[in-house]
Chain A
Amino acid sequence: MKQLLILSGKGGTGKTTVAGAFIRLSQARAYADCDVDAPNLHLVMEQDSLPRRTDYYGLPEAQIDEQLCIECDLCRQYCRFDAIQAEPVYKVDHYACEGCGVCEYVCPVEAVSLQPAVAGELCLYHNDTVFSAAQLKMGSGTSGKLVTEVKKQMVAAATGADLAIIDGSPGIGCPVIASLSGVDMVLIVAEPSISGISDMERVIRTARQFRTRVAVCVNKYDTSPANSGKIAVFCELNDLPLLGFIPYDPEAVRAVNAARSIADIDCPSGRAVREVFDQTMTMLFDDSGRDIRIPGF
């Protein structure tokens, strides 16, 4: 099964809109939403059935037994994550706790113990298609591990599928890094703004540490032809295939708000995304090692 990951660096560039269109166009039988922090793909990919839900346990978290606590303050002093507060009683801040176990180790009266903690929920929709997603519980860490679980869940359920499309998250941290491993190709959806270009460069730097194929497309390109040109130059200088340009399209907003993909309706962005899709599939399934490029902008 070939896995295609869609990233952007910057939020709001159109990852989920493009992912939704790709899923429609490819009729992919497996797809996943790895933005476990703020999943959106389910809003454009309507499902026929209810999902199977599973609790996700993140790292165990420290708990302080008030009855046993002698307020010696050792736990708070040793905690490197500022996760223990002393007022009004000694208590663990479960948003900051990383489950390292140092407090448990230093407590002289065994008042601190590490307990399993639910950090989110996994969802699996399984009909003729497999859709895997998750929601991280607010403020939780270990988002990377949950992303890995989302992908594992998809792969386990989608035996026989030849293509999986994965909608990634913004940023370059833990969840992005976790979503990168094991994918065959990354498509970066770039936005032609100064911020968008800066963020795109950072996510490409992160992605390239993983030796997967990386390609770029530009969304809302006509909001700044000059910046779109800069992206084209950047791609050329860095040996990055640039697979197409999608125009800004008010139809896209309307489609998304009606829970439909831009590939479902006839509109400029839908037509352009189709072209990008074709180029992406060619590159993804090309095992010859050749570089695919389209003519410059």
Chain B
Amino acid sequence: MLIAVPADDKSIESKVCVSFGRAPYFLIYDTDSESGDYVVNSATASQGGAGIKAAQTVVDSKAAVLLTPRCGENAAEVISTAGIKMFKTSPDSIWDNIKAYKEGRLSPLEDIHPGFHGQGGR
């Protein structure tokens, strides 16, 4: 199964990125092979709709689960339409959060915020 996590750096020891839409990378971690790849998030350069573009990247990675501290309305709509489950991370490293997810210690992400840059929030 594939898990996506927004990452500041290409290192599993680094903290989970505080932003979803503007995270520089997504770690796509394979729980079966216990290895992962870092995908560049092209949404960082976007003027608007960054969350949507980042969500598209996650959908295209075929991840079944997304671990993230937060998510905007528009991105959340894309993620949930694709059937991907979202869980809320703690401010720890990516590795710690993946471990916590596997051990069932992470809660589903409930609070979805209105979009930044004036989009969403209707």
Of the residues A144, A182, A211, contact of B48 by C-beta under 8 Å:
A144
Q: Evaluate contact between A181 and B114: CB separation under 8 angstroms.
A: yes
The docked-state distance in angstroms from the alpha carbon of A59 to that of B49 is 13
Say yes or no: A148-B117 contact (C-beta < 8 A), given A58-B47, A59-B47, A142-B47. yes
Given known contacts A145-B48, A182-B113, what 9 new A-B pairs fall within 8 Å (CB)? Answer: A99-B47, A142-B47, A144-B117, A145-B47, A148-B117, A178-B117, A180-B121, A181-B115, A209-B114
B: residues with CB less than 8 A from A are: 47-48, 113-118, 121-122
The docked-state distance in angstroms from the alpha carbon of A117 to that of B114 is 28
Residue numbers in B under 8 Å from A182 (CB-CB)? 113, 116
Range class of the A interface residue count = 10 to 19
Of the residues A58, A59, A181, A209, contact of B122 by C-beta under 8 Å:
A209
Q: Evaluate contact between B121 and A144: CB separation under 8 angstroms.
A: no
How far does the Cβ of A141 sit from chain B's closest Cβ, in whole Å?
Answer: 10
Residue numbers in B under 8 Å from A180 (CB-CB)? 121
Residue numbers in A under 8 Å from B117 (CB-CB)? 144-145, 148, 178, 181
How far does the Cβ of B34 sit from chain A's closest Cβ, in whole Å?
Answer: 34
How far does the Cβ of A187 sit from chain B's closest Cβ, in whole Å?
Answer: 19
The docked-state distance in angstroms from the alpha carbon of A177 to that of B21 is 18
CB within 8 Å: A-B pair count: 36
Q: Evaluate contact between B47 and A178: CB separation under 8 angstroms.
A: no
The docked-state distance in angstroms from the alpha carbon of A58 to that of B47 is 7
Q: From residue 141 to 178 of chain A, which have CB atoms closer than 8 A to chain B?
A: 142, 144-145, 148, 174, 177-178
Residue numbers in B under 8 Å from A211 (CB-CB)? 114, 121
Q: List 8 A-B contacts (CB under 8 A).
A: A145-B48, A148-B117, A174-B118, A178-B118, A181-B113, A181-B121, A209-B114, A209-B121
Q: Is chain A's interface secondary structure helix, strand, loop, or mixed overall?
A: loop
Residue in A59, A148, A174, A209 with the greatest tally of chain B CB atoms within 10 Å: A148
Encoded as 1 (CB less than 8 Å from any B CB) or 0, chain A from 192 to 221 comes to: 000000000000000001110000000000
Q: From residue 43 to 62 of chain A, which have CB atoms closer than 8 A to chain B?
A: 58-59
The docked-state distance in angstroms from the alpha carbon of A151 to that of B113 is 17
The docked-state distance in angstroms from the alpha carbon of A181 to that of B112 is 12
Q: Evaluate contact between B47 and A181: CB separation under 8 angstroms.
A: no
The docked-state distance in angstroms from the alpha carbon of A180 to that of B118 is 8
Q: Which residue of B lies closest to A148 (CB)?
A: B117
The docked-state distance in angstroms from the alpha carbon of A99 to that of B117 is 17
Q: Evaluate contact between B116 and A210: CB separation under 8 angstroms.
A: no
Residue numbers in B under 8 Å from A174 (CB-CB)? 118
Of the residues A58, A59, A177, contact of B118 by C-beta under 8 Å:
A177
